[in-house]
Amino acid sequence: MFFVNFGYAQDDYNLKIAQSDIVTPTDASSLCSNNATPTLTFRVFNLESSPSGTNTVVNVAANNLVATLTLSGANSSVSSATFNTLGAGSENLPGTTIGLGNYAFFTWPSEIQIENVGSTVFEIEVAVPSLGTDTNTLNNTASITINTLAKPSFSLESDRPLNSFCPTDTGFMTFTASPTADYYVFYVNNVQVASDTSNVNTQTFASLTNGTSVKVRGYAASGCYGEETLRVYIFDSEPGSIGGEQTICVGDTPSILTNVVSATVSGTFATDGQYKWQSSLDGVSGWSDVSGANSSTFQPPSAPPPSIFYRRLVVNNGCYEASNSIQISINSLPTASITAVDLASANSSNASASICDGTMVDFNAAGGVEYEFFIDNISVQGRSASSNYSTNTLDDTDEVKVRAYDSSLATACFDESAFIKFDVTPNPVVTISSNINSNTFCAGSNVIFSAGAGGSALFTFFKNGIEVRGPSLLSTFTTNALSNNDIISVEGTINGCSGVASLTLSENAITTVGTITASGSTTICSGDTPAVINGSAGSVSGVRTYQWQSSLNGTDWSNIDTATGVLEDYTPDSPLTQTTSFRRKTISSVGTITCEGISNVVQISISTPPTAVLKGYPSTPPAG
């Protein structure tokens, strides 16, 4: 032991400390290594007696008490402390002095650690260096021995990796301390929840929150305990939400499923790779992972089943939080069919039909609510509720189909029928002609009509649309039963296809030929010249002229050269010697076409003259 001389006068004093004066801890005390920080309290006696010294009273305020603590054994250290006040329980209190024969308590001001297991000797030496030398250095030192006991050493583990669980987990989390101690006390958030010999404790997931502390103390028979604490974590995630619910048609590719609200993982936004997409046929069970789908959005594949649900998971250390689910519904397509009336039908298989050029074809569609018709993939009748379409302009190889929509909505699903392919045969080019100029006829005259079709054809003739001669290979037709403006048409048919030609007739009409009458006697003497023969005017449609004729026998007629033109009357200019008949032709001229009408006949008879006989009589002629 040594003391520092602070330069004070060398007065004597006598301080005493014994083993029994070390109040806490006491000699042979035992401490657990986990609580080996004892509070050291000791008592110091002032044994100074007068007149051996001058300092019968020790004033620690004026002259500090210095204590030196030396630890040896399992734990070793040397420390000192200076005291200038008296502790609780000291005599002469209140005050700062230790009276003669009195004692004072002191408490070591700093923490003392003796955690090493084994025996440690506490030796305390007290002195008041400023008062000189203690007169009895044999009684100012005391020691005790403290035994530090080992605490149980063990670990605390849970049955969950990383001591964590998923928010959706149900059931229990088990905590196990090992190796075993004599008994255990478990705490949850420092609240005791179990105290028994079992080293296992279970807690429901529902009772644990993120950051919950679970502590266990394992006690040995000595009462020493070891303590371990772990924290429980919940893999906290928010799944966010997705959008893109839709109804599509069979065969369509769904639109992308969108990220409405991003997911979070432990408070930060999830990134690609922390997502997983799943599908289910009913949206309730049977969820299965979609391979390779690990981003915030998802493009569903084409041709999905009639109904499918999708949801997005956010993945946090093997825990999954599911977003809302969305449904993709697939509308069944209508079954479109098309019929060319009396020709062919097509729905799922193509069909063909043969027609003649210009044939009017009526189409009927079925299977939908609205329809759109196409020829060679070009829309020819826009979408509407009408299921009918007609046309007579089909060309050879044209393909006609219909698109049937299942509703009137813009998003309606549709199906296209197979097509009907048309083989269109050109119609023969039919001609018709007559044997009269300018197709102008005279009443009652036979007119011959001749037809052509560029090949062997059946010809049917019509007058004003009414059949007058049935189909025949004969290409001519003759008739005199005609009227002005009659239309003669002919239909020529080759291999079932027909062409039509027609012409319109004009009649060079003589409505009235007029009548002739003799102005004088119709019997005259031979050699006389007949009187004027009068004629009433004829009525014609063309240019009217007349031609007078004469006949000696009433059968053979000869034109009178001088009696032609526009004169309605005839004035004979030659004497007659025999009975002669006269008539007048009324002539109508239309262009080069002339028609004639014959009037009535006026006969001028020649009377027989008497026969004169000359007789000579010698006497008077006989009477009579």
Domain co-membership, 118 together with 40: yes
Domain co-membership, 269 together with 327: yes
pLDDT at 85: 92
Asked if residue 576 is part of any domain, the answer here is: yes
Q: Is the pLDDT of residue 6 over 50?
A: no
Domain co-membership, 535 together with 601: yes
**41 in helix, strand or coil?**
strand
- Please state the rounded mean pLDDT for residues 475-496: 95
Domain co-membership, 272 together with 345: no
pLDDT at 279: 96
Summarised one tens digit per residue, pLDDT across range 163-220 is 999 988 999 999 999 987 899 999 999 999 999 999 999 999 999 999 999 999 999 9
Domain co-membership, 137 together with 86: yes
Asked if residue 533 is part of any domain, the answer here is: yes
Domain co-membership, 389 together with 499: no
Residue 541: Cβ within 10 Å count: 17
Q: Using the 3D structure, point to which of 467, 483, 507 is the last residue of a domain.
A: 507
Asked if residue 621 is part of any domain, the answer here is: no
Domain co-membership, 43 together with 69: yes
- Mean pLDDT, the chain, rounded, equals 91
Residues 6+ away with beta carbon under 8 Å from 251 = 302, 303, 333
Phi first, then psi: give them for residue 33, nearest 5 degrees. Answer: -65, -25
Domain co-membership, 594 together with 521: yes
- CA dihedral over 54, 60, 62, 66, signed as positive or negative: positive
Summarised one tens digit per residue, pLDDT across range 511-549 is 999 999 999 999 999 999 999 999 999 999 999 999 999
Domain co-membership, 392 together with 446: no
Domain co-membership, 316 together with 361: no
State how many domains the chain has: 6
Which amino acid, one-letter code, is at 322? A
Strand 414-416 with 399-405, pairing: antiparallel
Asked if residue 58 is part of any domain, the answer here is: yes
- Please state the rounded mean pLDDT for residues 302-323: 91
Pick 297 or 454 by higher pLDDT. Answer: 297
Identify any residues that bridge with 544 across adjacent strands, giving them in sequence order: 588
Q: Using the 3D structure, point to which of 507, 536, 565 is the last residue of a domain.
A: 507
Asked if residue 619 is part of any domain, the answer here is: no
Q: Is the pLDDT of residue 33 over 90?
A: no
Asked if residue 354 is part of any domain, the answer here is: yes
Asked if residue 128 is part of any domain, the answer here is: yes
pLDDT at 168: 86
The count of residues in the chain is 624
- Please state the rounded mean pLDDT for residues 445-461: 94
Neighbour-count burial for 394-417, b at 16+ CB within 10 Å, e otherwise? beeebbbbbbbbbeeeeebbbbeb
Concatenating the DSSP letter of every residue in 91-160 gives TT-SSSEE-TT-EEEEE-SS-----SSEEEEEEEEEE-GGG--BS-TTSSEEEEEEEEEPPP--EEEESS
Asked if residue 623 is part of any domain, the answer here is: no
CB 447 within 8 A of CB 480: yes
The rounded Cα 591 to chain-centroid distance in angstroms is 78
pLDDT at 530: 95
Place of tokens 């060309």: 395
Identify any residues that bridge with 510 across adjacent strands, giving them in sequence order: 540
Domain co-membership, 321 together with 375: no
Give the domain CATH number at 211: 2.60.40.10
Identify any residues that bridge with 278 across adjacent strands, giving them in sequence order: 289, 311
- Please state the rounded mean pLDDT for residues 411-421: 94
pLDDT at 11: 55
CB 295 within 8 A of CB 288: no
pLDDT at 53: 53
Pick 95 or 489 by higher pLDDT. Answer: 489
pLDDT at 473: 94
Q: Is the pLDDT of residue 284 over 70?
A: yes
Q: How far is CA 283 from CA 90, 257, 270, 274, in A?
A: 82, 16, 24, 22
Domain co-membership, 397 together with 309: no
pLDDT at 599: 94
- CA dihedral over 282, 284, 289, 293, signed as positive or negative: positive
Summarised one tens digit per residue, pLDDT across range 207-266 is 999 999 999 999 998 889 989 999 999 988 899 999 999 999 888 899 999 999 999 998
Strand 506-507 with 440-441, pairing: parallel
pLDDT at 179: 83
Q: Using the 3D structure, point to which of 101, 116, 149 is the last residue of a domain.
A: 149
- Please state the rounded mean pLDDT for residues 18-42: 90
pLDDT at 180: 77
CB 518 within 8 A of CB 602: yes
Residue 94 pLDDT level (bands cut at 50, 70, 90): confident
**254 in helix, strand or coil?**
coil
For the record, the structure tokens of 6 come out as 């602070």
Neighbour-count burial for 214-233, b at 16+ CB within 10 Å, e otherwise? bbbbbbbeeebbbebebebb
Range of the domain at 115: 15-149
Q: Is the pLDDT of residue 441 over 70?
A: yes
pLDDT at 608: 83
